[in-house]
Structure 1
Amino acid sequence: MARFKEYDQYDALGLADLVRSGQVSASELLEESIARTEKVNPAINAVIRPMYEHARLQAKQPKEGPFMGVPFLLKDLIASYAGVEMTNGSRFYRGFVPAEDSEYVKRFKRAGLNIFGKTNTPEFGITPSTEPEFTGPCRNPWDTLRSPGGSSGGSAAAVAAGIVPMASASDGGGSIRIPASCCGLFGMKPTRGRVPSGPDLPDGWFGFIAEHVVSRSVRDSAHMLDALQGNYPGQVMRIAPPTKSYASALDKKPKKLKIAYSVDPLLGEQLHQDCKAGVLETVKLLESMGHTCVEVRPPVAREDFIYAYSVLVCSEMAATLAEGERLLGRAGKSSDFETRTWALMKLGRSFHGGDVAQAVWFMNMFTRQWLSFFEPYDALLTSTLGELPIAVGGLRPTPRETLELKALSYLPIGGIAKQKDFVIKSGKRLYNYCSQTMPANVTGQPAMSVPLHWNDNNIPVGMMFTGRFGEEEVLFNLAAQLEQAKPWADRRAPLYAV
């Protein structure tokens, strides 16, 4: 079938304009996306569930919308697509087929997107590296020995490899921003409650999770958030809608901003020199654009935060197991899950209600302190990650850790693993890696990773801007300025489908 060779000269909105005007058909775009998937996916393992025939039928009569007829990929986690298997990266969910679309997916369809596949994700999205045992590791098109990040690693790898201009993503601890940073893309985590997540599943991770996309262009992200945002009947977390469209923020006259910046490792023990260099380089760029930058040290009690966050996520994993058992009608066993996942579920069961309540209280107090610190500033600049994109396998448990996790799995109530020192020690590598992203999930603030820096080895190093609660338009306006001042759209990963 006919294909559109000039596909990657356009972002998603540009492709939709071509379809709407009749210059290109939705079928031509889809066949180009499929051909690119077949070419590069064997090397990166980003698309784990093709939906080609279904998408071909949809392409014959594309739906009107801002992204009319544009090929799109859906992360295989949380987002239910009626009639298509959703495994959440886990053997336990093999064969599970949702009966209805989640609200998130309904809005993608209403925007005119043509979903033709589902992307790789770590088991239940619990790690910042996409390496599920069930579907195999995903690799970074910028360096296939490195991870594309997680948990939206499959989506980010597909965009970076030129398969699609934009793909779905979700973020409970950095899972939009981390892959965006690793893959040289733009990734916005919206304000808590901005994009609805129901109605088929509960709001996850105590409200930490936000859903949106990763993209090459800022304007695709802004227009997509316009299409995704807004309350619906039965939604638990409701916030005021924006006064104007996010798309309009891109053309708004820039306002002089007061931007705090930090090269503090925050939840980690040290910040990689390339990450620090990226922040300082970005400060110079911001100042040249007329913004005021002030160095700060954000307030966070590192070990207390790590412990509280771990208590909540492990408790959530215990609930995930219980909900999966209810939904699937069968008991879960250790062989259904990865060793680390099963251990976290067991650990989650070991915490009692008082442990969870204390963790919630700590996070509420942290949020108040953090937002008070934030009050004088329009945004906070840090690196997105504490390190460069990690090697594939770099966060896997060591042989000794694997033995410890297996031992934990056999303890009736988690035993000594409840102790704070054990939890902090076990998570040390993970929190060194994604040392900057988690506070915004706890506070609910919007935050974006912007591809502003590449190191001497051509590895992307994202810069993260956290904004005030509910003020995505300020971040989008800033991102549009940065995109114009230091364009990234023409940068191509070494592994790129052409």
Structure 2
Amino acid sequence: MRYDEYRDHDAVGLAELVARGEVHPTELLRLALDRCAQVDPSINAVSLLMEQVGTRLADRSEHTGPLAGVPFLLKDLAQDFAGYPTSGGTGPLRSVPAERNSLTVERWLAAGLIVFGKTTTPEFGSKGITETRTFGATRNPWDLERTPGGSSGGSAAAVAAGIVPVAGASDGGGSIRIPAACTGLFGLKAGRGLIPGGPAVGDPLFGAVSEGVLSRSVRDSAVMLDILSAPDPGAPYHVPRPDRPFRDAVTAPPRRLRIGFTSESPLGTTVHVEAVRAVTDAAGLLEELGHTVEPAAPAIDGRQLALDFMTVWTANVAKTIAEACRVTRCAPGDFDVDTQVLAAVGRAVGGPELMAAHARWNDYTRTLAEFHQRYDLLLTPALGEPPIRIGQNRTPALADTVLPSLLRLGAGHVLGRTGFYRDLVTANLAAVPFTQLANITGRPAMSVPTYWTAAGLPLGTQFVGAPGSEYLLLQLAAELETARPWAHRRPAAVDHQLVSIK
């Protein structure tokens, strides 16, 4: 098989070739490894290459499962592969091997996928970009000076650059949808509890986190949802599954839908004109397809929501750093400065404050539920602006020098109430203000690559559904994919870079 043939197939298509004996998994793995060697020096998407694992899996005498033989990359956060480290984007954990596979990894291996590496992520998944002190900056194949988003930025870059057709991802505040929107991919965040995340965790971040994938085709994500969503007896709760496989969702269009849309930032920050156009364009396309679309938004205080989200997030970062330091005997100063700030603020969060912030999540959930009584889906931009430039959200050099000393003096309890911290939160969320609502409320949501800017950059649109609407979202995504295909689009920037290097 030639590389262009490999690139033209999605994961389901490659698995069908393997099942028919038209190509062997070792051949597919070699194509993936060669492409990785070719483009990863430019995009920095792979944090850990596990070639020996991939070779062992590909060399097996039998290949079974719905995606048997397809090369695959894990996200280097929570997706544990026994005997190999899960760094979480940080240096102290790079040498700590996982004791066992996570449940998602077990299910991917049972599906026949050929795991051969892990992808970059910001430290503990705490940013909508993928830049760390340990691994450097991961770059967008559409424009190497721009971010592929985060926290699943490495996976997005690897899929967009054609290393693999689909890759592991996760979403605790937009970390599937943001990278999908930045790189012209499809990304679905399942609703709370549909995809169990065990065994090491049960309901991470009060249920805000969901494992998943980034893909070039809707059917790949649908098949992956079938693979990942089987009930787990050890999960905190059981979520009903549809009576049909998710894969069937791509075979028939949805019923005519009523969709409310908005392009106003819930933070009150400016939304780029291209992001507004992306939503207007999607609304027009939906109307052409027969859906009813009108301006509407849930009546939620977005600023308070952001603060309540960050209160829980910072407390979780503090806990995560404490666990990492216990395991590795490292110090808080061994982490990125931004992470140190988040942890210091999180350590200063009192129990009553944490529980009050989490209690308000219920208010947002009920308000969104009222919206969904009138509308099947909420349509918004997935991003507040086109993919930002590398370094745009970097901590200023002076703060990078001064903050560690202040934090060592115990300034976290003061810092969390300063304008600097609020500015840091705004800087992190202003470019991605639309995605946290679905995590807080546990609703399924997706980013669909319906729009490209005048400069040729992807800019996805987000749809948020009611509980249990994953099947409906996949139906609509498949309808949009047929009406305005995107898989044929190729990011020229990374290949142009290769030509210039030569």
- Shorter-chain TM range is over 0.9
Residue aligning to 2:425: 427
CA distance, structure 2, for counterparts of residue 40 and residue 495 of structure 1: 11
Residue aligning to 1:36: 35
Residue aligning to 2:444: 446
Residue aligning to 2:414: 416
CA displacement at 1:420 relative to structure 2? 7.1
Residue aligning to 1:378: 376
Offset from partner CA, 1:148-190 (integer Å, 9 cap, x none): 0000000000000011100000001100000000000000000
4+ residue segments displaced more than 6 Å: none
Written as runs of structure 1 = structure 2, the 5 A alignment for 1:27-176 is 27-61=26-60, 62-176=62-176
Written as runs of structure 1 = structure 2, the 5 A alignment for 1:47-446 is 47-61=46-60, 62-326=62-326, 328=327, 330-403=328-401, 405-412=403-410, 414-419=412-417, 423-446=421-444
- Compared CA separation, residues 69 and 496, structure 1 to 2 (3 A): farther
Residue aligning to 2:485: 487
CA displacement at 1:192 relative to structure 2? 1.0
Question: Do the aligned partners of 1:303 and 1:424 also contact (CA within 8 Å) in 2?
Answer: no
CA displacement at 1:193 relative to structure 2? 0.8
Give the 3-state SS of the residue equivalent to 2:352 in structure 1. helix
CA distance, structure 1, for counterparts of residue 450 and residue 65 of structure 2: 31
Question: Do the aligned partners of 1:416 and 1:422 also contact (CA within 8 Å) in 2?
Answer: no
CA distance, structure 2, for counterparts of residue 369 and residue 255 of structure 1: 25
Question: Do the aligned partners of 2:311 and 2:349 also contact (CA within 8 Å) in 1?
Answer: yes
Residue aligning to 1:465: 463
Question: Do the aligned partners of 1:264 and 1:297 also contact (CA within 8 Å) in 2?
Answer: no
Where do 5+ consecutive residues of structure 1 fail to align?
Answer: none
CA distance, structure 2, for counterparts of residue 430 and residue 313 of structure 1: 13
Q: Structure 1-normalised TM-score?
A: 0.96
CA distance, structure 1, for counterparts of residue 133 and residue 321 of structure 2: 18
Task: Tell me which amino acid in the other structure corresponds to 1:483.
Answer: E
CA displacement at 1:422 relative to structure 2? 5.1
CA displacement at 1:324 relative to structure 2? 2.2
Offset from partner CA, 1:378-424 (integer Å, 9 cap, x none): 11111100011011111111134435633541242623223275543
Residue aligning to 1:13: 12
Task: Tell me which amino acid in the other structure corresponds to 1:276.
Answer: V
- Compared CA separation, residues 404 and 256, structure 1 to 2 (3 A): farther
Give the 3-state SS of the residue equivalent to 1:335 in structure 2. helix
Question: Do the aligned partners of 2:169 and 2:211 also contact (CA within 8 Å) in 1?
Answer: yes
CA distance, structure 1, for counterparts of residue 437 and residue 193 of structure 2: 16
CA displacement at 1:42 relative to structure 2? 0.4
CA distance, structure 2, for counterparts of residue 320 and residue 467 of structure 1: 30
Task: Tell me which amino acid in the other structure corresponds to 1:385.
Answer: L
Give the 3-state SS of the residue equivalent to 1:433 in structure 2. coil
Task: Tell me which amino acid in the other structure corresponds to 2:176.
Answer: I
Give the 3-state SS of the residue equivalent to 1:43 in structure 2. helix
Task: Tell me which amino acid in the other structure corresponds to 1:59.
Answer: A
- Compared CA separation, residues 311 and 411, structure 1 to 2 (3 A): farther
The number of residues matched between the two structures is: 495
Task: Tell me which amino acid in the other structure corresponds to 2:343.
Answer: M
Question: Do the aligned partners of 2:181 and 2:383 also contact (CA within 8 Å) in 1?
Answer: yes
CA displacement at 1:374 relative to structure 2? 2.4
- Compared CA separation, residues 411 and 303, structure 1 to 2 (3 A): farther
Task: Tell me which amino acid in the other structure corresponds to 2:410.
Answer: P
Offset from partner CA, 1:444-473 (integer Å, 9 cap, x none): 111010001001110001011111111100
CA distance, structure 1, for counterparts of residue 205 and residue 401 of structure 2: 27
Question: Do the aligned partners of 2:82 and 2:97 also contact (CA within 8 Å) in 1?
Answer: yes
CA displacement at 1:200 relative to structure 2? 1.7
Offset from partner CA, 1:30-66 (integer Å, 9 cap, x none): 1000110000000000012111122112112253111
- Compared CA separation, residues 4 and 301, structure 1 to 2 (3 A): closer
CA displacement at 1:5 relative to structure 2? 4.7
Question: Do the aligned partners of 1:82 and 1:100 also contact (CA within 8 Å) in 2?
Answer: yes
Where do 5+ consecutive residues of structure 2 fail to align?
Answer: none
Question: Do the aligned partners of 1:262 and 1:382 also contact (CA within 8 Å) in 2?
Answer: yes
CA distance, structure 2, for counterparts of residue 343 and residue 332 of structure 1: 17
Question: Do the aligned partners of 2:253 and 2:476 also contact (CA within 8 Å) in 1?
Answer: no
CA distance, structure 2, for counterparts of residue 242 and residue 71 of structure 1: 29
Residue aligning to 2:453: 455
Question: What percentage of aligned pairs have identical amino acids?
Answer: 41
Q: What's the RMSD between the two structures over aligned residues?
A: 1.6
CA distance, structure 1, for counterparts of residue 445 and residue 177 of structure 2: 8
Task: Tell me which amino acid in the other structure corresponds to 2:40.
Answer: N
